Structure 1
Amino acid sequence: MMSFWKPTAIALTANLCLATSAFAQGMDQLVQLEILDGGRTPEGTYQGALRLKLKDGWKTYWRAPGDAGIPPQFDWSRSRNVGDVEITWPAPLVFDQNGLQSIGYENQLILPVEITPQNPAKPVRLRGEMDLGVCKDVCVPGRLGFDHTLDAQAARNPAIAAALAQRPFSAREAGVAAASCHLKPTTDGMQIEAHVTMPSAGGAEFAVIEPGNPLLWASQAETKRDGNTLIARTEVTNVSGGPFALDRSEVRITVLGASHAVDIIGCDAG
């Protein structure tokens, strides 16, 4: 682990969004949210999904939205009989947005969620809110509510199954042989240079590095390939301007390629 002091706070990408337009157009006119049922799994968990239907031409964002996006956030606190909620993110697309790159989905997002009930004998009620951003010519931040009691007897849902199949490959599935992260202090934070030994994901590859801490922000990674090694470099800063420690085991590297995406959890010192 490595720690240092960042003297100035960063400007978050949310300020690119025009909040005035949010109230002028109304989030409910741009995106519809519903909960899909997928029934109980053999392990006793509930399989469901949040389905976002976007107005034509509009996009929403992945968990790491790039330099021009708003990361989605979820509040499950008003749910009932919900223990753990595990989200599976389908592989996103990379967009050019006014000269900046953003990462997300267009037209529709089906986001699978697997819920572990606190009491297997009682119903599970998903009730909460999702904060998100949607963009076209302008970006609109907003909040959508949901309230749905999951159907334990529901049949397998093809839409959820398709979304699960669109997840990135794991490091093992993609043939990743090694992943290392080299850390170096910078004026404003810390540089991470990741070296990933793996077969090509197809076409022009785009790497996203997540520090593993919600209080840390990583810039868009510069990505290149040297033979069998993908090299990605980013700078990490603390949104509060305070000191922080970076744990390599929490670093998450996602490689987005033309053929598939790869999800790599943790990296060695190298």
Structure 2
Amino acid sequence: MRLTALPPSEDGVILAILDVDLLPGWKTYWRDPGDAGIPPQLDFAKSANIETAETKFPAPERIDDGYAVWAGYTYPVAFPIRLDQREAGTQSVIDVNVFMGICEKICIPVQAEFNVTVAPQDAATDYEKHLVETAFRQLPAQPHDGFRIDGVTLDDNGKSVSFNMHAPGDEIEIFVTGPQGWVFDAPQAQASKDGYTTFQAPILDAPQDATLSGASVVILAKAGRQSIETEISVP
């Protein structure tokens, strides 16, 4: 595991990545693995001159380990991180505590702490720039005309959400996440018409007496090498 951070920009943005170099046969979790698993947790509370820190996640895959089906990664993965400085264009200390689950036949908790000082006068190597820029470039894109999601609805029984998807090709993998406590099953195709496919995602678990109406869900879709991600309000 390795943390790579570029020097801060003039407007106080620091781009970084957490590299997790998984050996063959090992796996780790996405930000919302489902009803089983430990999502990666990055705590920047001890950092100096850091106002906010956001960890981003590349598109995962759905993994069946024989005990459960969950979302994660079966290959080395880099998690992009955007940090905003409190005092732009000055020195910062990135102090991050990492806690995550790493799995082979069983899953074990792994904890690590990194401390990196970055300053505007630092010079990143071409290799460091390549690592960080590549990781950010591989994040899911915004929806566009050829690949988009429309019409999210909460079904009448309140036990699933449905939405329409226009995507390149038929091989589509979709992940739906909601507010804290909501867990969704893998969406299933219901019908196709006029270039759209209607998918339905059953709700596996939800907070007691809660409703999705008026809340938002995040939908990530993969088609070949393309992926998109969007947050949509549920009517």
Q: TM-score, normalised by structure 1?
A: 0.74
Matched with 1:154 is 123
Gaps of 5+ in 1: 1-32
CA–CA distance in structure 1, aligned partners of residues 147 and 226 of structure 2? 12
Q: Distance in 2 between matches of 1:49 and 1:88?
A: 9
Shift of 1:147: 1.5
Q: Size of the alignment, in residue pairs?
A: 228
> Alignment RMSD, CA only?
2.5
Task: State the shift of 1:246 in Å.
Answer: 2.8
Structure with the bigger RCO (C-alpha within 8 Å, sep 6+) is 1
Q: Does residue 206 in structure 1 map to residue 178 in structure 2? A: no
2:62 maps to 1:94 = yes
What is the SS of the residue equivalent to 2:16?
Answer: strand
The share of aligned pairs that are identical, in percent, is 21
Q: Distance in 2 between matches of 1:234 and 1:184?
A: 12
Distance 1:74 1:203, change over 3 A: same
What amino acid maps onto 1:218 in structure 2? Answer: V
Change (3 A) 1:203 1:66: farther
Report the alpha carbon displacement of residue 132 of structure 1 after superposing the two structures with TM. 0.8
In the aligned structure 2, how far is the partner of 1:134 from the partner of 1:57? 11
Structure-1 separation of matches of 2:182 and 2:101: 18
Q: TM-score, normalised by structure 2?
A: 0.84
Deviation, structure 1 residue 247: 5.2
Q: Say which structure is richer in helix.
A: 1
**For 1:140 and 1:174, how far apart are their aligned partners in 2?**
41
Residue of structure 2 in register with 1:63 after alignment? 31
Aligned partner of residue 127 in structure 1, secondary structure: strand
* Cα distance change of structure 1 residues 249 and 219 upon mapping to structure 2, 3 Å threshold: closer
Distance 1:139 1:173, change over 3 A: farther
In the TM superposition, 1:1-270 aligns within 5 A as: 33-41=1-9, 43-98=11-66, 100-152=68-120, 153-155=122-124, 157-172=129-144, 174-176=146-148, 178-184=150-156, 190-200=158-168, 202-211=169-178, 213-214=179-180, 216-224=181-189, 226-227=191-192, 228-235=196-203, 237-238=205-206, 242-246=208-212, 248-269=214-235
| Runs (4+) off by over 6 Å | none
Residue 265 (structure 1) shift = 0.8
* Matched-pair contact (CA < 8 Å) for 1:60–1:105: yes
Provide closer, same or farther for how the CA distance between residues 198 and 233 of structure 1 changes in structure 2, counting only shifts above 3 A.
same
1: CA distance between counterparts of 2:145 and 2:57? 17
2:176 corresponds to which letter in structure 1? I
Structure 2 residue runs without a partner (length 5+): none
Shift of 1:245: 4.3
Judge conservation of contact 2:10–2:88 (CA < 8 Å) in 1. no
d(CA) in 2 for partners of 1:130, 1:174: 37
Answer whether contact 1:205 1:223 (CA < 8 A) is retained: no
